[in-house]
Amino acid sequence: MPAIKFHLNGELIQKTSGQSLAELASDLELTKKKFAIEMNGEIIPKSLHASTLIEEGAVIEIVHAVGGG
């Protein structure tokens, strides 16, 4: 897969080759945690993370639960 650039939580990320959302989550050591991914404004269900490739220029948000009232 060719190199790609995308936005992750507001930061521009460059990877030497393309990857799936599951691979991205694994790189971020999120695999065993509870998180949710949105790509280009759409929530991508966990069941599709492995089969969903990150698109060039994609805007990705990954969220988790933090303390709040």
Partner 1 sequence: MSEVLQIGSRSFSSRLLVGTGKYKDLEETRDAIIASGAEIVTVAIRRTNIGQNADEPNLLEFISPDKWTILPNTAGCFNAEDAIRTCMLARELLDGHNLVKLEVLGEQKTLYPNMTHTISAAKTLIEDGFEVMVYCSDDPIFCKELDDMGCVSVMPLASPIGSGLGVVNPHTISIILENSSKPIIVDAGVGTASDAAIAMELGCEGVLMNTAIAKAKDPILMAEAMKDAVISGRKAFLAGRMQKTEYGNASSPTEGLIE
Name the residues that contact partner 1, by CB under 8 A.
Answer: 8-11, 13, 27-30, 33-38, 43, 45-46, 61-69
Indicate the residue type of 54.
I
What SS3 state is found at 47?
Answer: helix
In whole angstroms, how close is the CB of 13 to partner 1 at the nearest point?
8
In whole angstroms, how close is the CB of 36 to partner 1 at the nearest point?
4
CA distance 26 to 31: 5
**49: part of which helix (H) or strand (E)?**
none
**Given the complex with partner 1, which of 17 and 29 has the nearer CB atom?**
29
